Amino acid sequence: MLFVQQLINGLALGAVYALFAVGFGVVFSTMRILNLAQGVYATWGAIFAYWAVAHAGLPFAVACLVGTAIGAVAAVAVDQVAFQPLRSRGGEQLLGTIITSVALWISLREAASLATGAAPLGFPPGTVPGGLIRFAGLRVLATQVIAVVCAIAVTAVIHVILRHTRLGAAIRAVGHDRGAAMLGGVNPRVAILTAAALAGAATGLAGVFYADGQTFTFGLGDGLLLQGFAAVVIGGMGDVRGAAFGGFAIGVVQVLSAQYISNSFQDAITFGLLLVVLVVRPRGLLKTVELGRA
């Protein structure tokens, strides 16, 4: 029973990683950017959602939307400020975008630190759905159910957009070959902005779900960045379903390894798995078709 309980806790934690990993994967596979600023989208999503419920008195569902929107806005802004200038210059961009994403990462995190006074924040009681589902000796929080359902839904929506719409085809085309995409009548700028916004939205939502059950600070995104990074590599970048799978897998592995092996080896297991996957199957555990090859 404890095993099932912890499996559920792991899936709920994994839902957050999954959302983050989906965002990370979309950016990496379409733009070839190792975006270290991604974590702060989650931080700012969480902060704005907190403000929405704590100061503006909005319901939790609206706060989730606020967090999602802030994530999307942040992602588009970062893309335009940090990545577009390098993109327009052409040539190899990986190195340059790493530096500019670091620039935005540290700036936006410091801004978050100033905005919150570096204080620990927590969603006030009553502002988060407080339901507790008791079933056969298991205890599941309403927020855990919401996180899992949303993670699956968002993954599905982004998957459908990328795979089954004209816009999605355009995004994938840009990821594959920008020149060819333009020849084919795709506006690469729209495609890139859409991809950035989708990634940011998923990440912002991840931040809200990460923050709603705990106390968090401006450093929230940093932990998420590393776990989400591991998730996306393990699951595979080419397909959002793979990234989501990686997220859930890492959540479950973390909680179960803390329960049954040792808390101190939790990171060792996660990151060790990450390294093994990178060496043995650099395309991720799930065999998927790459959106575009570097």
Residues from 104 through 133 that contact other proteins (CB under 8 A): 104-111, 113-114, 117-122, 124-125, 130, 132
Closest residue by Cα to residue 211 from 60, 107, 109, 110: 60
Q: Is the Cβ of residue 184 or residue 282 nearer to other proteins in the bound state?
A: 282
98 near other proteins, rule: CB under 8 A: yes
271 near other proteins, rule: CB under 8 A: yes
Instruction: Quote the CA–CA distance of 230 and 246 in Å, as a whole number.
Output: 8
160 near other proteins, rule: CB under 8 A: no
Report 228-267 residues binding other proteins (CB under 8 A).
229-230, 233, 254-255, 258-259, 262-267
Q: Candidates 62-70, 151-159, 161-169, 209-217: pick the segment binding other proteins (CB under 8 A).
A: 209-217
95 near other proteins, rule: CB under 8 A: yes
Mark 14-51 as b/e (b = at least 16 C-beta within 10 Å): bbbbbbbbbbbbbbbbbbebbbbbbbbbbbbbbbbbbb
Q: Is the Cβ of residue 155 or residue 227 nearer to other proteins in the bound state?
A: 227
206 Cβ partners below 8 Å, 6+ apart? 16, 17, 19, 20, 23, 42, 45, 71, 224, 228
Structure tokens at 163: 């795979």
Binds other proteins by CB under 8 A, chosen from 56, 177, 268, 287: 268
**DSSP summary character for residue 135:** E
Q: Candidates 161-169, 171-179, 197-205, 207-215: pick the segment binding other proteins (CB under 8 A).
A: 207-215
- Shortest distance (Å) from residue 30 CB to other proteins: 13
Query: Count of H helices and E strands in the chain?
Result: 12, 2
85 near other proteins, rule: CB under 8 A: yes
Where do we find the tokens 């970048």?
Answer: 237
290 near other proteins, rule: CB under 8 A: no
